[in-house]
Amino acid sequence: MGLEFMPIFEGWAVDYDEEVNGANPEYQEVFANYWQILDEITAHSGQSVLEFGSGTGNLTEKLVAAGKTVYPVEPSPEMRDMAAKKDALQATSFFAGDMENFPLPPEPVDTIVSNLVFHHLTAEEKQKVLKEYNQILPIGGKIIFGDTMFLSQTVYDTYLRTEKEAGRQNLAADLEREYYPVISELDQYFQKSGFQTTYRQMNRFVWIVYAEKIMEAE
């Protein structure tokens, strides 16, 4: 799962919660409506949730507070440690793993969620894991992912040029380095994996994809 990005997260763990609240001006647009995005993912989740890239536990907290059973998976030990120290998560077990390699939950799940994680996978990896998630979920089960994505390649190119011209070089480097999808291509991945989808734009960069399993993947 793009574990080449792990050093970034190891250095980011301490500051992550400050950045999602707007502490870094360069990323304010990326994190706009951050807590609303987590609320939206939580509201549409079922009762038993597998969460990928749980990070410092912000989405995990929301899910637990809503009374859901959560199995959070996070590759960064530093991030897991930060999450485990939060008062509301003292009874929650965090699992080492990523979107490709993870321990199966001990009980069936009806929802798989993540926020700002799926872009770490290449196009090929995205397609592979969606078929695997299909096997985990029942018919009617859901995938709910919040992430940066783009309506078209032209939109991506425009955004990248805008960030470079504005001097937001770190954000521009992120856009070039990671694997942000075009929605039409992402939608094909979901459809081929047995899901029907809807999308909602939450800020200039981030959308939520709501995917429901309607058939077994081939």
**What 3-state class would DSSP assign to 190?**
helix
What per-residue confidence (pLDDT) applies to 217? 92
Distant-in-sequence contacts of 155-161, Cβ < 8 A, 24+ apart:
156/180, 156/182, 159/204, 159/205
pLDDT attached to residue 3: 54
- Report the pLDDT value the prediction gives residue 16, as an integer from 0 to 100: 82
pLDDT value of position 14: 63
Which H or E run includes 7?
helix 6-12
Q: Are 114 and 51 in contact (CB under 8 A)?
A: yes
User: What residue has token string 């399993």?
Assistant: 213
- Any binding-site annotation on 78? no
Nearest to 100, CA basis, from 56, 130, 59: 130
Distance in angstroms (rounded) separating the CA atoms of residues 65 and 175 = 33
pLDDT reported for residue 9: 55
Would you say 100 is a known binding-site residue? no
- Amino acid in the structure at residue 82: M
The pTM of the full predicted model, rounded to 2 decimals, is 0.94
Is the Cα torsion angle 70, 74, 77, 80 positive or negative in sign?
Answer: negative
| Lookup: tokens for 197 | 């989808």
pLDDT computed for residue 121 by the predictor: 97
- Superfamily, domain 3-213: Vaccinia Virus protein VP39 (3.40.50.150)
Which of 159, 156, 160, 126 shows the shortest CA–CA distance to 143? Answer: 126
Ordered mean pLDDT values, 10 residues apiece, the chain (218 residues): 54 75 92 98 99 97 98 95 95 97 97 98 98 98 99 98 97 96 98 98 99 96
Q: In a 3-state reduction of DSSP, which class is residue 91?
A: coil
Backbone angles phi, psi at 202, to 5 degrees: -110, -25
User: Under DSSP, is residue 136 helix (H, G, I), strand (E, B) or coil?
Assistant: helix
- End-to-end Cα spacing for the chain: 23
**Residue 146 is labelled as binding a ligand:** no
- The strand ranges marked E within 60-194 are 69-74, 95-96, 111-115, 142-148
Q: What angle do CA 146, 151, 153 make, to 5 degrees?
A: 120
